[in-house]
Chains A and B, each alone.
Chain A
Amino acid sequence: MRANQLTDLNVMVAGQGGDGSLTVTSILGELLARRGYHLYMSRNVASRIKGGHAAAMMRGSLEQRGCQGDNIDILLAFDQEAVDMAASRMAANGVIIFDTSDGDLNREGLADSIDIIEVPFGRFAVRDLRRNLFKNSLSFGVLSSILSIDEDEAINCLRHSFQRLPEDAIVANINAFDSGRKFFSELPQQPDLRMLANVEREKHLLITGNEAVAFGFLAAGGRFFAGYPITPATEVLEWVQKYGSRFNVQVTQAEDELAAVNMALGAAMTGVRAMTATSGPGFALMQETISHAGSAEIPLVVVNCQRAGPSTGMPTKTEQSDINMMVFGANGDFPRIVLAPGGPHDCFDLAVQATNLAQQLQCPVILALDQMIGQDSTTVEPFNLEAVVLQHGKRVDAATLQEMTEYRRYEITDDGVSPWAVPGTPGGESLVTGNERNEWGLVSSNPENRRNMVDKRQRKLDSNLHLLPRGNSQGDADAEIGLLGIGMQLGVIEEVWQRLSAQGVRIKFLQPRTLWPVLDETIEFTNSCKRVYVIEHNQAAQLAHLLLGEGANKAGIKSILKYDGQPFGAGELCAKIQQEEAGQ
Chain B
Amino acid sequence: MKNHKTIVLSNQEISPGYYRMRILAPDYNKLARPGQFVMFRVQRSLPPLLRRPFGIFRVGFMPADCDTMPPKEFIEIIYKVVGSGTEIMQGLHYGDPVELLGPLGQGFEFGEADEEKILVGGGIGLVPLYMLAEKMIDHSKVRLLMGGRTRDDIITVTEFERLGVETYVSTEDGSLGEAGLVTQVLEKKLQENNQVSVYACGPMPMIEAVEKICSAHRTPLQVSLEALMACGVGACLGCVVKGAGHTQEQPSYLCTCKVGPVFHARQLAWGSDDDAAASDCGVCR
The answer to whether A and B belong to the same complex is no
A-to-B contact residues, CB < 8 Å: none
